[in-house]
Amino acid sequence: MLLFSRHFHQHEENSYEGTILIAKALEEGHDQLTEVDLSTNMMRRAGARALAQTVLKKPTLKLLNINGNFISEEGVDEVSDMFKDSPDKLGPLDDNDPEGEDFEDEDEEEEGEEESELEAKLGGLKIKQEEE
């Protein structure tokens, strides 16, 4: 059994290129590949399609997990269609966000938590001003 799982967060302009390179690297050999997990990696439509085309050729594939990426609805439909003869080999695709807003929202929440923590620390601070 061979399991491939990798979390790579790239600059947005290169987000699909990394997935395409991984798909190309998996083309030759790797016939014992059973699972590919590239969830939450900022993958877009082109990368998802390339990866799906590659892993579908693997005779021992049991699961492709590409959920939690930036795959458009069209891309989700295309990948689902590729797996129409073996839908059990494709993980869920319902947490994809084509706008890429998931990670931004998390960053804003973290900033809000940091501000709240700072406010809590400064809450008991008293400032004395001396009169001239």
**What topology is assigned to 2-99 in CATH?**
3.80.10
Residue 102 scores a pLDDT above 90: no
Residue 104 scores a pLDDT above 60: no
**Please, which pLDDT band fits residue 33 given cuts at 50, 70 and 90?**
confident
Query: Which of the pair, 76 or 110, is modelled with greater confidence?
Result: 76
Q: How much is the pLDDT for 65?
A: 95
Dihedral angle of Cα 101, 106, 108, 112, to the nearest 10 degrees: 160
Report d(CA 38, CA 62) in Å as an integer.
14
Dihedral angle of Cα 59, 65, 69, 70, to the nearest 10 degrees: 40
Taking only the tens place, the pLDDT of each residue in 48-99 is: 999 999 999 999 999 999 999 999 999 999 999 999 999 999 999 999 888 8
Residue 112 belongs to what H/E stretch? helix 101-122
- Domain parsing of the chain, residue ranges: 2-99
